[in-house]
Amino acid sequence: MKLSISKNVHLVEPGDFEATDHWYPRVLNSNIHPLVAYFLNLSHEQMVERYHRLHPSSDLNAIMEILQYQPQYFRWAGTDLMHITNHEGYRKLAVIETNSCPSGQKSMPLLDLNVEQGGYKRLIENTFKPMVEKHQEPGGLAVIYDKNPMENIGYAATIADVFDENVLLAKFDKDDQDPPAKFVNNKLFVRNEKEGWTEIRAAFRYVTQEPWNRIPQKSRTLLLNPIEACLAGGRNKEVASLAYDNFNEKFSGSGISIFTPKTFTKVPYGELAKYFKLLAGSMVIKVPDSNAGQGVYTVINEKELDFTLSKIDPNSEYLVQQLIHSNYSKGLDPTQAWYHVGTIPDSKGRSYAFDLRLMMHATAEGMRPLAVYSRRSGFPLNQELPENMNSWEVYGTNLSIKGEDGWTYADERLMLFDIRNFGQLGLGIDELIKGFVQSAMAVYAIDQNAIKKFGVNQANI
């Protein structure tokens, strides 16, 4: 950690960036897979043409419109996708959720070994800096966060280098009774070393736990991302689902759509058992505004349904999705059922469910992929689940673990897109292109929803 100048505030100065502090140790010693590097360097024209070859009925101009889109609010995003197949072996990448404060830099091998700050620098130079240069407000620069110090210290140090300016790094927890950051008349202030308050003109935001409790709409301090991106679907699964539906309706004649598992919104607690039967005895129940793997329950039998009902609030409504299954079953509807493709079987024959996190950012040319990695489940898809084990062990891929002392990460299940790991995923360049287009469509949908809800983002003009 950098120089502490106040409680939960650190001063980060130009030259403070230390690579060993901002990547997982095994990522530092890894080399990006050549196919992944090739994908990250593809032009929009190449991606659009290839996507059209894979989806012949898709409209070239519509796909290009999505990739070249300039978001008003949602300029940095991470989409979680899953590689799935159906009864006939038709493979797709399904959008599971989209995040407005995504992690990923610490899991991404360097694209260019000569650029020590890697994706941190690409995001700050190509997205944050142009925004700040257009934003006419006085004050300093800051990073506000509530978890993931490994990446947030990295972002703060990169901002300090790119702007050649000191940066205040403030931990902004939802339960802090004396927080080191505050908004006054929609302007951010961060506590300084004199126990006074420093005015902030622009801040990088990684505040994920109920951020609307302390971050206002129409912030005069430029934020990447502003809270409107969260409220429009970047941190609420239910609102995002409705945004995806609106997108699919808008582009229904263009041969493109956002693909998600079948989803039901606003399901009352008392009707969850009904949906369990409707979905043939399996489902996923999600607390709409939860994140980091919290508030998500896989249900494959009555026992797990009872367990989940005992854990969640009887007075709330939930998002219910069809479960992507572990193995083919003749009892499932062949027109509806989807299955995990899973990892390539290891030397013991074990194949695991995995997701694909694709982080992207808005640049002068449009949306660009920034970082990509995968996370696998803890228990194999192709082994019998022990009677005392929860199905989350088979289907849950998130690495975040919330403990009494804060957040930890099960990084042994991290699958890097490097020379050693990438081949185990069974993904090719076409899957990466399809995943990026799906992710860009999701960002487009949520940003359009934000514009519809909140109007034009004045801070981004």
Residue 440 lies in a domain: no
Report, as an integer, the average pLDDT of 37-62.
98
pLDDT at residue number 409: 59
Taking 80 as the threshold, does the pLDDT of residue 399 lie above it? no
What are the tens digits of pLDDT across the range 241-260? 999 999 999 999 999 999 99
Residue 231 lies in a domain: no
Are 20 and 165 in the same domain?
Answer: yes
pLDDT at residue number 92: 95
pLDDT at residue number 163: 98
* Amino acid in the structure at residue 145: Y
What are the tens digits of pLDDT across the range 321-333? 999 999 887 678 8
Report CA Rg, the chain.
Answer: 22
Residue 50 lies in a domain: no
Report, as an integer, the average pLDDT of 216-238.
95
Are 129 and 159 in the same domain?
Answer: yes
Are 88 and 158 in the same domain?
Answer: no
The boundaries of the domain holding residue 139 are 3-24+107-224
Taking 60 as the threshold, does the pLDDT of residue 152 lie above it? yes
Are 118 and 18 in the same domain?
Answer: yes
Are 95 and 199 in the same domain?
Answer: no
The share of the chain scoring above pLDDT 90, in percent, equals: 85
Q: Within 13 Å of residue 434, how many CA atoms lie on the same side as its CB?
A: 20
Assign 407 a pLDDT band (cuts: 50, 70, 90): very low
User: Which residues have a Cβ under 8 Å from the Cβ of 9 and sit 6 or more positions away?
Assistant: 168, 169, 170, 171, 180, 190, 191, 192
Residue 308 lies in a domain: no
Taking 60 as the threshold, does the pLDDT of residue 131 lie above it? yes
Are 96 and 111 in the same domain?
Answer: no
pLDDT at residue number 461: 55
> What does pLDDT average to over the chain?
93
Are 93 and 153 in the same domain?
Answer: no
Taking 60 as the threshold, does the pLDDT of residue 217 lie above it? yes
Residue 190 lies in a domain: yes
Are 186 and 205 in the same domain?
Answer: yes
Assign 292 a pLDDT band (cuts: 50, 70, 90): low
Residue 279 lies in a domain: no
Residue 114 lies in a domain: yes
Are 123 and 186 in the same domain?
Answer: yes
Are 10 and 132 in the same domain?
Answer: yes
Residue 51 lies in a domain: no
pLDDT at residue number 367: 98
CA gap 419, 422 in Å, rounded: 6
What are the tens digits of pLDDT across the range 336-392? 899 999 999 999 999 999 999 999 999 999 999 999 999 999 999 999 988 888 999
Are 160 and 82 in the same domain?
Answer: no
Q: Identify the three-state secondary structure at position 59.
A: coil
Chain-centre distance for alpha carbon 32: 21
Taking 70 as the threshold, does the pLDDT of residue 124 lie above it? yes
Q: Identify the three-state secondary structure at position 85.
A: strand
How many domains does one find in the chain?
Answer: 2
Q: Within 13 Å of residue 193, how many CA atoms lie on the same side as its CB?
A: 8
The share of the chain scoring above pLDDT 70, in percent, equals: 95
**Quick one: tokens of 115?**
């650029």
pLDDT at residue number 139: 97
Taking 70 as the threshold, does the pLDDT of residue 401 lie above it? no
pLDDT at residue number 408: 59
Are 112 and 12 in the same domain?
Answer: yes
Report, as an integer, the average pLDDT of 181-205.
95
